[in-house]
Amino acid sequence: MTKLSVNINKIATLRNSRGGNNPDVLKVALDCERFGAQGITVHPRPDERHIRYQDVLDLKKVVTTEFNIEGYPDQRYLELVSRVKPAQATLVPDKPEAITSNAGWDTLANEGLLKEIIAELKKQGIRTSIFVDPVEKMVEGAAKTGTDRIEFYTESYAKGYQKNREQAIAPFIKAAKVANSLGLGINAGHDLDLDNLRYLQENIPGLLEVSIGHALICDALYLGLENTIQLYLKELNFH
């Protein structure tokens, strides 16, 4: 089964645009769970333009499904994660000024750094995942860091899907086979949507979880949050 973790960053973007508490990030997280999401993902960024560090502390008190905190492992992120102890910490190599995530880790160049941080997080009982491109040697490098899982950066797949989906998925299938053979769990995310999700799910062996934010929240504007979550779950559980 592939779990759906809803990324609620964009709910916080909307809230922050007016300075009040509408929409209420905590309420939306609870509603996502009530509507069937199996996890909640947040990606606090240093400028707190959407999810604030305080949101993460507050969410921890109410989220009952799998809580996944994504981010670059700077001191502030690591302190937050150690305090919150989410089910999963997903390490992403974004620069502080990144508009959105735009690359996976170079797991070879960063092996030492990742190894040290992952060992510490695992000591605290937090499952680790690292964001990687679908490149076999980067997956092999990921295995050497000791991480429990990888998260495939799926932007290239999402971009290529409309043009030639077989070509777009090919590197992910190869990289997933390497991950499976090395005992790494596989998550995926970035720009996944109702069009491209099913094909990804049916082609990636052992896909454990997808985290989806931008497209899902956009769909919810037209379809409603409950209906939208049900539609995404249907794509993940079609067989």
Ligand X SMILES: NCC(=O)COP(=O)(O)O
Q: Is residue 212 a contact point for ligand X (CB under 6 A)?
A: yes
Of 14 and 112, the one with the shorter C-beta distance to ligand X is 14
| Assigned token pair, 136 | 């076999």
Of 94 and 145, the one with the shorter C-beta distance to ligand X is 94
Q: Is residue 100 a contact point for ligand DXP (CB under 6 A)?
A: yes
Q: Is residue 32 a contact point for ligand X (CB under 6 A)?
A: no
| Dist. CA 119–CA 134, nearest whole Å | 24
Q: Which of residues 33-52 bind ligand X (CB under 6 A)?
A: 41
Q: Is 191 one of the annotated binding-site residues?
A: yes
Query: Largest Cα–Cα distance of the chain, in whole Å?
Result: 49
Amino acid at 25: V
Task: For residue 134, give every residue at least 6 positions away whose Cβ sits within 8 Å of its Cβ, in sequence order, or none.
Answer: 152, 153, 156, 157, 171, 172, 174, 175, 176
| Dist. CA 191–CA 196, nearest whole Å | 9
Q: Which of residues 122-161 bind ligand X (CB under 6 A)?
A: 151
| Assigned token pair, 20 | 């009040």
Place of tokens 């199996």: 38
Q: Is 18 one of the annotated binding-site residues?
A: yes
117 with 91: CB under 8 angstroms? yes
64 with 90: CB under 8 angstroms? no
Of 41 and 228, the one with the shorter C-beta distance to ligand X is 41
User: Active-site residues: which are they?
Assistant: 43, 70, 190
Sketch the per residue contact string, 153 through 192, with ligand DXP: x for CB under 6 A, - otherwise. ------------------------------------xx--
Q: Is 50 one of the annotated binding-site residues?
A: yes
Q: Is residue 185 a contact point for ligand X (CB under 6 A)?
A: no
The option from ligand X, ligand DXP, none interacting with 145 (CB < 5 to 8 A, set by class) reads: none
**Cis (ω within 30 of 0) for the bond into 93?**
no
Residue 163 backbone phi and psi in degrees, to 5: -80, -50
Considering only 2, 9, 147, 196, the residue that binds ligand DXP (CB under 6 A) is 9
68 with 108: CB under 8 angstroms? no
The option from ligand X, ligand DXP, none interacting with 212 (CB < 5 to 8 A, set by class) reads: ligand X
| Dist. CA 181–CA 206, nearest whole Å | 11
Binding site for ligand DXP (CB under 6 A): 7, 9, 43, 45, 70, 92, 100-101, 131, 189-190, 213
Binding site for ligand X (CB under 6 A): 7, 41, 70, 151, 189-192, 211-215
Residue ranges for the known binding site for 3-amino-2-oxopropyl phosphate are: 7, 18, 191, 213-214
Residue ranges for the known binding site for 1-deoxy-D-xylulose 5-phosphate are: 45, 50, 100
